[in-house]
Amino acid sequence: MPLLSDIAGYWLNGTMRTFEAFGQGFGSPATDPPALTPYDVIYEGGKVSLRHYAAPVRQHATPLLIVYALVKRPYILDLQPGKSVVQSLLAQGYEVYLIDWLPPNRHDTKLGFDGYVNEEIANAVRAVQIAEHVEQVDLLGYCFGALLALLYAALHPANVKNLVTLTIPFDMSVRELPIYNLVDAMSDVTVDLITRIYGNCPAWMVNANFLSMAPIHHALDKYVGLYRNSERDGYAAMFELFERWMMSDVPLAGQTFRELVTQLFKRNALVRGEFKIGGETIDLRRITCPLLNVVAAQDDVVHPASSLGLPEFVGSVDKRNLTFPTGHLGAVVSAGAMTKLWPEVGNWLAARETPAN
Amino acid sequence: MKKQESQVVQELGKFVQAFWLELPMAAANRFFGNGNEITLRKAGWKAYDAFVSLANEATNTIYANPVVGSLTGQTMERALQIQHMGSAAASAFFGNLWPAVGLPTASEVAGLRNEIAALHEDLSQAVEAAEKEEQAQSPMLAATSAEGLSLLRNGYFKRDDREDDEDAAA
C-alpha cells in the first residue's frame, strides 16, 4: 500500500520536525532559510532589525515600510520566486523596507504595545526617513503587524503618507471562528500566571494556538495533501518551506501578550475607544491619510468580519476595503495574490504617490 | 452553536452519501468491469474529503461549546497554578538544600564567574603594562616604536657593534 506508507512517512517527518522545533525553541533568525531577495540591514536596535530591499528601477519617491507580525519569522513575505510580496513590490518600483522583529528574551517581559509602537516602529520609521531623506513613509502591515501599523499611524499621523492594512485583527468582538471561544475562556489569572512563570508567552504556546485552529489539517490532511500533490512540480519543496515557517514561532513579549488578551481580545478596547498606549488613548480618527484595508475573504485566522469595519473608525476621507478571495496566508503566497492582489495594492499606492526623480 | 450543529449535520449527510453510497457503488462497478480505476479513485478521495470536512465541523462544534471552553480555561489555569507552585517549592527547597550540602547557589556561581572575568581583565592589563615597561627599558625592543627609531639613529646599534668587536678581539 504505497498510499498509506507514503502518508505515514510524511507524517513521521512532520512529527520529527515538531520535535526539532521544540528542541531548538521554534523560530529564531538563525534558523531562517537563505534569503531569496538580497537586502541590507540598515538599522538594528532594540527589537528591530530593519531590512532594505532596493528596487531595480525605482519609480516612487516614498519608501514603503512593511511592519511584519510579531509571531513567526518574516520570510513568508519572500518565500519563493513568484511567491514573494517583496519581489512583487520591488518589481513595481517601490523601495521596500521591512521590520524583522528580533525575538524577545527574558529581559523584554515588560515590552508592551507602548514599546513596540512608540519606540521600535518609531525608530524604524526614523531610520527610513534618514536613509531616504523623506518626511513621510508608506506603511504596510500584515496581520498583527497591521494592528501595530494602525496604532503607529494613530499616534504619529504626520509620518505616514499612505496606510495599507492586510488581514488586520481589528474588531475583536467577532467570534465567527470557534477557536476564539477557547481564548475567551482564558482568564486574567491564567494570563498573569503565564507571564509570571515564563516571563513572555512561550513560542510553543503560540504555536499550539495556531495548530489548534485547524487540528485535523495539521494532524492528517496536510500530509494527505502532500501525497495527492506529490506529482506537481515544486509542491514538495514548497510544502517543506511552508512547514518550516509554520514552526518558526517566536515568543510574545509578556506585557504585549497581557495587553493583547486582556485589553484588545477580551474587552475589544481599541474599537470601544478605550485602548491606551503610553497613557494616551488611541483615537483612530487622527488617521487622515489614505487607507487601503485588504481583507482575505476566506481568512481562517482573522475572520473577514473582524477586519471589514476598520474604515468606519478612521478619520481618512480616502479609504476603502479591498476584499480578495483567498485565505490568510494565500494573501501573501498564492499565485492569484501575486498576479492580481499585489499589483492592485501597488496601483493604489502609485495613484497616491509622487513619481521618483 | 445551533448554526455549528446544523453544519455538522449537513457535513454528516455528505459523508454518508460519499462513503456509504458512492464509494461502494464505484467499487462494485469496478469489480463487475463497468467502471475504471480513475472513477474508483475519485470516489475514494471524495469520501476522504467528506470525512475531513465532517471532522473539521465537529471540531468547530466542540470549540464553540461553552462547557468545553470553560473546562479548557479551568484546566489551563489549574495546570499553570500547579506549575507555579511546583517551581516556587523547588526553588525554596533547593535554595536551602544547596548551601546545606556545601554546593553554591546559581547566583553565587554567577558572581564567581563575574569575579573570574574581572580577574582575567586585571591580568591582561597587568601583562600589557609589564610589556610596555619592558619595551621602555630595552632599546632594541623599543626600536619598533617611533621613540625607538630615534634611539637607533642616535647610534645605539653602533655601540652594540663596537661591544661585539671588543668581545671578539678579547
For range B142-163, the mean pLDDT: 50
**A31 vs chain B: nearest CA distance in angstroms?**
29
At residue B67, does pLDDT exceed 50? yes
* Residue with more model confidence, B50 or B153: B50
For range B150-167, the mean pLDDT: 50
Cβ of A186 within 8 Å of Cβ of B76? The answer is yes
At residue B139, does pLDDT exceed 90? no
Pick out chain A residues at pLDDT < 50: none
What residues form DSSP beta bridges with A320? A292
**A100 vs chain B: nearest CA distance in angstroms?**
31
pLDDT of res. B160: 46
Spatial separation of the C-alpha atoms in residues A15 and A7, rounded to whole Å: 12
At A242-260, the pLDDT tens digits run 899 999 999 999 999 999 9
pLDDT of res. B157: 46
Cβ of B4 within 8 Å of Cβ of A178? The answer is yes
* Residue with more model confidence, A286 or B111: A286
What residues form DSSP beta bridges with A132? none
Please tell me if residue B63 touches chain A, with a CB cutoff of 8 Å: yes
Dihedral sign computed on CA atoms, order A114, A115, A116, A122: positive
Dihedral sign computed on CA atoms, order A14, A16, A22, A26: negative
* Residue with more model confidence, B142 or A140: A140
pLDDT of res. B159: 44
At B8-46, the pLDDT tens digits run 899 999 999 999 999 999 999 888 888 788 899 999 999
The percent helix, strand, coil of chain A (3-state, each to 5) is 50, 15, 35
Please tell me if residue B72 touches chain A, with a CB cutoff of 8 Å: yes
Spatial separation of the C-alpha atoms in residues B164 and B170, rounded to whole Å: 10
pLDDT of res. B1: 62
pTM of the entire predicted model: 0.82
A183, A190, A195: best to mutate for the B interface, most B CBs within 10 A: A190
Burial of B107 from C-beta contacts in 10 A (0-12 / 13-18 / 19+): exposed
| Cβ(A89)–Cβ(A35) below 8 Å | no
A328 carries an active-site annotation: yes
A107 carries an active-site annotation: no
Please tell me if residue A260 touches chain B, with a CB cutoff of 8 Å: no
A218 carries an active-site annotation: no
At residue B146, does pLDDT exceed 70? no
pLDDT of res. B167: 54
